[in-house]
Structure 1
Amino acid sequence: ETGAAAGDKLLSVCMNSKRHKQEPGPEDELYQECRPWEDNACCTRSTSWEAHLEEPLLFNFSMMHCGLLTPACRKHFIQAICFHECSPNLGPWIQPVVPNGQEEQRVWGVPLCQEDCEDWWRACHSSLTCKSNWLHGWDWSEEKKHCPAHEPCLPFSYHFPTPDDLCEKIWNNTFKASPERRNSGRCLQKWFEPTLSNPNVEVALHFAHHHHHHHH
């Protein structure tokens, strides 16, 4: 297989998961924070709506486990979910969920720009949580996610002393905190103005080529 074809497989693709479309394409009415991806999205309109629920079905976590997040904090979480569900630019970071598995995929180590981690962290500073890893270890009694016994609700800054901690721990290394800044072409923005073109396209291109030269 030619190098170009191998690299192209990493561009404009959707991960293989229950909610993602098989391939990206235009969506005319994505909801609120998911709107930036309308030109080319891996999410459907209904997934974009689900991303905004208080108990997102998507990552199986509750945004209300220690009471309401501040509106600014919650908005960052919704943007992060929209990015994960809708972005067609995550190809270089897609991995099988089970090693050597063919079926379900996830993303791993997606490099978020420094400002994205900082803004998210700042917005959530006064919100409360009982855990640093929101993917695992919840108490599932009564079908809802509760804090584990003896895990009190504490400020985010206790569980996430730095912006990097928040980006990397919250969904178990789905994201990596990049030292690079927005518009460097070396990191992904978890949200961008819907009227602008998608800044992550060129970043995926850079990493796809980089990935190609290292792995073949």
Structure 2
Amino acid sequence: KMVVPGVVLGLLAACVAAAAKESVLNICMDAKHHKTRPGPEGKLYQQCALWKDNACCTANTSTEAHQDQSYLYNFNWNHCGVMPAKCKQHFIQDTCLYECSPNLGPWIQQADNSWRRERILHVPLCKEDCEQWWEDCKDAITCKENWHKGWNWTAGTNRCPRGSMCQPFRYVFPRPADLCEKIWSNSYKYTQEHRGSGRCIQMWFDPANGNPNVAVAKYYAQNRADASPAPWAALLLLPPALLALF
């Protein structure tokens, strides 16, 4: 039988690798409030408007992201007293990024929650975004380090678990990295990369200059360790007639 030259198999493997990289670009998570695929949303509300040209969230979701206790997750920012406005704006922006961004594909992982099938893990957050978040929230009050789990939900919203103590963020999260990485179960990763570097995700950006996170997602998709499939995966693309040559 003929043997297909290795160069052909190599080219096919490269095609599969390229397709794998493209598959994580411009996509929405399979989660509670996300759209099936990203697209324009001209009426996104306030802080979420940065993603209006291409969003994974609807206008209603963007509006609810700004509420102290919205129907999105029945989560109450003010569980230890009123959260300062300058701190709350970061949590709103965090929610907008999570719900609206189509550029988180390289960090999407499977999740075993009842309310979502996918989550983000270790998204490299720009140094300035994380540090300003911590600076503006260091005097806010909370009773928990990880806000994803461990709450008392008996009243239908999150309440501090019995035995916990409300205290300033600066004690619960001594460093910016503690806040950004621990509060949502390592959804974010604190980095030394700066805004505009093309190596970190920005929570905040000027949409008039475009969305910088498009290039960041592309960079990590092209450089992720698991982006290239095994060479045999290329065989999956071959038509039956060509497979018969092996």
Deviations along 1:53-105, one digit per CA (max 9) or x if unpaired, are 10144455320101111101000000000000000000000111039xxx811
Within the candidate set 71, 76, 80, 1:62 is matched to 76
Q: 1:79–1:190: 8 Å Cα contact kept in structure 2? A: yes
- How far does residue 18 in structure 1 lie from its aligned partner after superposition? 2.2
Structure 2 counterpart of 1:73: 87
- The answer to whether the Cα contact below 8 Å between 2:109 and 2:119 also exists between their aligned partners in 1 is yes
1:142-183 Cα deviation digits (max 9, x unpaired): 212111112111000011000000000111111111221111
Give CA-to-partner distance per residue, 1:9-42, whole Å, 9 cap, x none: 0110001112111110010110011010001000
Q: Which residue of 1 aligns with 2:57?
A: 43
Map 1:46-195 to 2 at 5 A: 46-98=60-112, 104-195=117-208
Aligned counterparts of 2:154 and 2:167: Cα–Cα separation in 1: 21
- Tell me the distance in 1 between the aligned counterparts of 2:72 and 2:148: 11
Tell whether the 8 Å contact from 2:74 to 2:156 is kept in structure 1 after alignment.
no
Alpha-carbon distance change, 208 to 192 in structure 1, aligned in 2, over 3 angstroms: same
Give secondary structure in 2 for the equivalent of 1:98. strand
Work out whether 1:20 is the aligned partner of 2:31: no
Superposed structure 1 runs of 4+ greater than 6 Å apart: none
Deviates more, 1:147-156 or 1:189-198: 189-198
1:120-141 superposed Cα distances (whole Å, 9 cap, x missing partner): 0000011100011111001112
- Please give the secondary structure, in 2, of the residue aligned with 1:17: coil
Over alpha carbons, which structure has the higher Rg?
2
Matched-pair contact (CA < 8 Å) for 1:6–1:212: no
Q: How many Å separate the matches in 2 of 1:121 and 1:104?
A: 29
Superimposed CA distance per residue, residues 168-211 of structure 1 (whole angstroms, 9 cap, x where no aligned partner): 01111111112211111110001212322001000000000012
Deviates more, 1:110-119 or 1:60-69: 60-69
Identical counterparts, % of pairs: 50
What are the within-5 Å matches in structure 2 for residues 1-16 of structure 1? 2-16=16-30
SS of the aligned residue for 2:109 comes to strand
Find the aligned partners of 1:28 and 1:59 in 2 and give their Cα distance.
24
Question: Residues 60 and 135 of structure 1 are in contact (CA less than 8 Å); yes or no, is this contact kept in structure 2?
Answer: no
Unmatched 5+ stretches in structure 2: 1-14, 230-246
Give, in whole Å, the separation in 2 of the partners of 1:115 and 1:52.
Answer: 22
Q: Provide TM-score, normalisation by structure 2.
A: 0.82
Residue pair 1:96, 1:106 contacting (<8 A) in 2 also? yes
Cα 1:107–1:60 change in 2 (3 A) is farther
The residue identity in structure 1 corresponding to 2:163 is H
Cα separation, partners in 2 of 1:123 and 1:80, compared to 1, 3 Å = same
